[in-house]
């Protein structure tokens, strides 16, 4: 099998919402197609990847470094037993890259990795989650995956009314845990939003809050004290994602679970978080984003570190990542999946009682959702 083309494009995801640290008006993401020379039903078997949203597109890095390396490689160099070997493709993409400095490069390589896994699973004619379950999971087959809804961003107009409507919409869609944004307004205003969310979720769903790393240590400490009696599922990114000392200080006394990791992008960063972040394996949550952290090849290294430090996989709750991350959560028995059911490109999951089942579509399963099919049409046609 030869990879004959890798096409990518930047997709605009403009939205008027904000979290505590950024607005989404100029947000972009990359879509990528890895075309093989294997023809089925008259069409080349093609691996697809779409960015996890939040760090903008990766087109420049892909075009200048990572795509040319893979296309220039001898197919023997990435051949596996049953098709392309994503581990070997990863090594080829990362040739001549120094260690450290993971920020944007890890997202570009994550797209190559995701497309390689989608291609590998399609060539084996099985869903990605099943391929991962067989090779790296417990091999027990399909299971229901806990799925939670991320919503409740800060709106420029009618903020609390729109937040309330979003909470009811998420419950109606079958979610039993919903997350809203916090930390981007004075505490009194955030408490109004949190109480409005709790009122509208009622007994049907738990509430988590995401502070997006915008608060300093004392501000975060005051915020956690203010919400301590609200019975929240977790408080996410209360401080800067790399301020492990502040995080550890909060974890010493926080009565609520803490969650972080979506802005760490490597196994090395994860190791530092677990060594120095003071987090508690029995309650806190690790949210490293699979696609933005070099993809599945690196995420398997991350899981090795997580488990070596005494953390169960169920405490891993990866950030975003749509159907791709959902497949990984299903195949590797992670704690669950974050989805954005009210976003511009919703994930195409059928949720009931807070869970979703992975399907039988080969690969990630983008083709089963017309919105993703439309997104990739000009890359695969
Ligand atoms: Mg977050």
pLDDT of residue 181: 97
> Angle CA(96)–CA(328)–CA(235) in degrees, nearest 5?
95
Report CA(260)–ligand 1 centroid distance (Å).
8
What's the whole-number mean pLDDT along residues 251-264?
97
Q: Which residue has the tokens 């779409």?
A: 50
Whether 319 is catalytic is yes
- 49 has a pLDDT exceeding 70: yes
Distance, CA 210 to ligand 1 centroid (Å)?
Answer: 5
Which of 220, 277, 201 has its CA nearest to residue 20? 220
As a whole number, mean pLDDT of residues 335-351 equals: 86
DSSP state of 293: G
| Distance from Cα 340 to the centre of ligand 1, integer Å | 11
Considering the candidates 122, 319, 322, 337, report the single residue annotated as catalytic.
319
pLDDT digits (tens, 9 = 90+) for 136-150: 988 888 889 999 999
Cα of 374 to ligand 1 centre, how many Å? 27
Number of alpha carbons in the 13 Å side-chain half-sphere of residue 249: 13
The pLDDT assigned to 245 comes to 98
C-alpha separations of 324 from 51, 165, 195, 319 in Å: 9, 28, 33, 11
Instruction: Determine the pLDDT at residue 22.
Output: 87
Residue 75, number of CB atoms within 10 A of its CB: 13
pLDDT for 318: 98
Phi, psi angle pair for 33, to nearest 5°: -125, 125
Q: Which of 58, 122, 179, 181 is catalytic?
A: 181
pLDDT mean over 312-323: 96
* Per-chain mean pLDDT for the chain: 96
Q: How far is the CA of 269 from the centre of ligand 1 (A)?
A: 17
Q: Would you state the pLDDT for residue 347?
A: 67
Q: Is 181 a catalytic residue?
A: yes
Return the pLDDT at 24: 87
Above 70 in pLDDT, residue 169?
yes
Assign 230 to helix, strand or coil: helix
Joined together, the tokens standing for residue 160 give: 């609390």
At which residue do the structure tokens 């896994």 appear? 117
- The answer, yes or no, to whether residue 329 has pLDDT greater than 90, is yes
């Amino acid at each position: 099998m030869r990879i004959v083309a890798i096409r990518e494009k930047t997709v605009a995801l403009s939205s008027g919402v904000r979290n505590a640290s950024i607005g989404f008006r100029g947000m972009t993401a990359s879509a990528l197609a890895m075309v093989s020379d294997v023809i089925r039903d008259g069409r080349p078997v093609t691996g697809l990847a779409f960015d996890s949203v939040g760090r903008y597109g990766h087109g420049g890095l892909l075009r200048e470094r990572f795509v040319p390396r893979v296309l220039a490689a001898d197919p023997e160099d990435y051949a596996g037993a049953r098709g392309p070997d994503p581990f070997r493709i990863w090594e080829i993409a990362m040739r001549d890259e120094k260690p450290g400095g993971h920020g944007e490069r890890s997202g570009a390589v994550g797209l190559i990795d995701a497309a390689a896994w989608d291609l590998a699973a399609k060539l084996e004619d099985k869903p990605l989650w099943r391929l991962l379950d067989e090779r790296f999971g417990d091999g027990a087959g399909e299971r229901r995956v806990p799925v939670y809804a991320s919503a409740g961003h800060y709106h420029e107009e009618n903020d609390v009314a729109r937040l309330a409507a979003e909470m009811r919409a998420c419950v109606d869609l079958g979610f039993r845990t919903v997350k809203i944004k916090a930390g981007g307004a004075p505490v009194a205003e955030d408490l109004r939003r949190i109480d409005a969310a709790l009122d509208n979720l009622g007994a049907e769903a738990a509430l988590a809050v995401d502070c997006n790393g915008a608060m300093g240590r004392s501000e975060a400490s005051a915020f956690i004290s203010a919400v301590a009696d609200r019975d929240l599922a977790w408080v996410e990114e209360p401080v800067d994602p790399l301020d492990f000392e502040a995080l550890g200080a909060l974890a010493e006394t926080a009565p609520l679970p803490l969650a972080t990791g979506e802005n760490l992008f490597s196994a090395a960063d994860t190791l530092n978080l677990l060594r120095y972040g003071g987090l508690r394996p029995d309650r806190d949550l690790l949210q490293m984003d699979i696609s933005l952290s070099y993809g599945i090849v690196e995420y398997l290294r991350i899981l090795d570190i997580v488990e070596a430090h005494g953390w169960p996989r169920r405490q891993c709750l990866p950030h975003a990542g749509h159907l791709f991350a959902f497949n990984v959560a299903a195949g590797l028995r992670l704690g669950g999946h974050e989805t954005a059911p009210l976003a511009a490109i919703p994930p195409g999951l059928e949720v009931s009682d807070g869970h979703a089942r992975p399907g039988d579509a080969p690969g990630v399963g983008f083709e089963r959702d017309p919105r993703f099919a439309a997104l990739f049409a000009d890359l695969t046609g």
